[in-house]
Structure 1
């Protein structure tokens, strides 16, 4: 098998907080690669609609295709700089979200009201 391909595109990140720690696999798109280039990050996140935590990135990520459905554990991008961790399944209005990755651990650690500070770092 040649060097490269999707196996190398599957970068993993850690997301840690006072509420617990999870890992996630980044999506294979330009936005997720730009997020990986920003790491490490510390983001203050607020609860939104009792389905997600949202926080502002230090700068905008490139636009790529969007989708409206998400599942618990989806990492997304709402506006160009609005990072989202979904802890419930659901659907968003148009234009949808950019998929940045998928949490591999128990995302329910974020299923509580209030703010949380998360630290995101590469696992390379």
Structure 2
């Protein structure tokens, strides 16, 4: 019995390491202005976002630094941060999706970090609303 318990513990530990070593989730964000790919961080909010995909989000410009839009459902709350860079994907509130096209800082409580665009985020640096489609990247 002791041996079976020990083997089960080793298998469970190994599974935990394999699960945490999974490849980063990548998404594609496309609009009539162009498309970019982003790599998501690993947290409860991004796992919730991945389950929603594909989704379409109506975005509007805010403060000439970001595009914001409402997700179809809220995502889990996780740790927030106040600094962001051009290409940061985040959440203001649990359902307010943000794409930053300039670097900066936000007031407390900060934003929930979702990921980082790996393409040219300057495609969003123009006035006016747009509609984006977010889907899993190939």
Whether TM exceeds 0.5 here: the answer is: yes
Deviations 1:25-83 (CA, angstroms, capped at 9, x unpaired): 01110001100110000000000000000000011000000000000000000011100
Give the match for residue 39 of structure 2. 25
How far does residue 4 in structure 1 lie from its aligned partner after superposition? 3.3
* One of 88, 94, 99 as aligned partner of 1:85: 99
Where does structure 2 lack aligned partners over 5 or more consecutive residues?
A: 1-16
> SS at the partner of 2:19?
coil
RMSD: 1.4
Tell me whether 1:4 sits opposite 2:19 in the alignment: yes
Tell me whether 1:43 sits opposite 2:57 in the alignment: yes
Q: Structure 1-normalised TM-score?
A: 0.95
The higher radius of gyration belongs to 2
Report the count of equivalent residues. Answer: 123
Which structure's relative contact order is higher, taking Cα pairs within 8 Å and 6+ residues apart? Answer: 1
Runs of 4+ in 1 over 2 A off after TM superposition: 2-6
In 2, the alpha carbon distance for the partners of 1:72 and 1:53 equals 12
Where does structure 1 lack aligned partners over 5 or more consecutive residues?
A: none
Larger helix proportion of the pair: 2
Alignment of 1:77-116 (within 5 A): 77-116=91-130
> SS at the partner of 1:34?
helix
How far does residue 123 in structure 1 lie from its aligned partner after superposition? 1.8
How far does residue 98 in structure 1 lie from its aligned partner after superposition? 0.3
Q: Structure 2-normalised TM-score?
A: 0.85
